[in-house]
Amino acid sequence: MSAAETDDRAESIRMIRDSAAAVAPRGGDLKRVRDLRWQDPGFDAGLFRQMGEMGWIGLRVPEALGGAGLGVAEMCGLAEELGAGLVPEPLIPCALSAQLLAACGGKGRLPALLAGDAVVLTAWQERADTLEVPGSPDAPRRFLPMAAGADVFLLPLREGGRLALYELPAERCAPAVERTQDGGNLGTLQPNLQDATKLADDVGTALADALDEAALVTAAYLLGGMERAFAMTLDYLKTRQQFGKIIGTFQALQHRAADVRMQVALTRASIDSAAAALDAGAAGDARRAAVSRAKARAAEASLRVTRECIQLHGGIGYTDDYDAGLYLRKAMVLANQYGSASLHRRRFMAASPEVEE
């Protein structure tokens, strides 16, 4: 990539980040996020529509099918900003669905999804902590994020050794919904094939690629959250006094803060490297290794960083009224989404046989 192309790419990512300020301004309060917790559907449908109008849902969809046709780095930059603001709208799972529908040639509810007029979730997961898609016709599909607000479900089914894709209206099979630690919800769907419409005969490769990207973009969201939690913690250390001194001058706390900063920096490096690899066309083991390295680090670091931030705040950090705790709760929900740290470490080792245990 030439210097001019590199500069153009950096400008594109900067513009995407800036556009996120309309939804999640850096340093803004979290009143909207608090108000949506423990409510159905757990997000603002009007704001989700606005995300569609801004082109975010179709960021990775080709322009010929109504998307923006941008890269993984742009998507990660956007997710990082949304993570900093704890935005609850299901952009990542809906972007995954948009990529699947694009692989079907734009069939089904793709136009409505790209416009933000329909929340389309892909019901692919049958058990905890996996990226495998068995496609069993009668198995419940689990861990559907923000399922209480879904309009349509996409259902991958194994047929003749291939993974077909079906579309199923939510009103024909209401999912069972349970609350999550951050105030959102997860759904369990029992497939109802009688009301399903077949969209494609084989989406196996497209779904595997989309799941990889969803894992990486989730890592970027976690990065934004841990970075914002750390910034809040630094502000607290610079203003809180104890024994007549600013607590940020205590050497023990400075050392702990330095460790947190290192975790954030290492996570960013892993995500940037993985996004660059995917945008450069990495495939097979190289693609899986890059994604898994980033997701494993982000999943582990997000929990470590947010817990450390709570402790550095002292007693006030444990209260629900203080914003630092919201970032820990979000990390607890998302750390295992699209694969836990342990799963991705195993996948990285399998994809990188030259790395010793």
- pLDDT tens column, 274-307: 999 999 999 999 999 999 999 999 999 999 999 9
Tell me the C-alpha distance between 283 and 278, whole Å.
8
Answer whether CATH 1.10.10.10 is correct for domain 206-351: no
Sorting pLDDT into bands at 50, 70 and 90, what band is 357? very low
Task: Give me the pLDDT at residue 240, please.
Answer: 79
Q: Where are the domains of the chain?
A: 206-351
- pLDDT tens column, 71-90: 999 999 999 999 999 999 99
Pairing of strands 152-159, 120-122: parallel
Q: Which residues contact 103 (CB under 8 A, 6 or more apart)?
A: 200, 203, 206
Q: What is the pLDDT of the chain when averaged over all its residues? A: 93
pTM score = 0.95
Q: What is the 3-state secondary structure (H, E, C) of 141-170?
A: EEEEECHHHCCEEEEEEEECCEEEEEEEEH
- pLDDT tens column, 159-197: 999 999 999 999 988 899 999 999 999 999 999 889 999
Amino acid identity for residue 14 in this structure: R
- pLDDT tens column, 33-65: 999 999 999 999 999 999 999 999 999 999 999
Phi-psi region of 67 (alpha: psi -120 to 50; beta: other; left: phi over 0): beta
- In this model, does residue 11 exceed pLDDT 50? yes
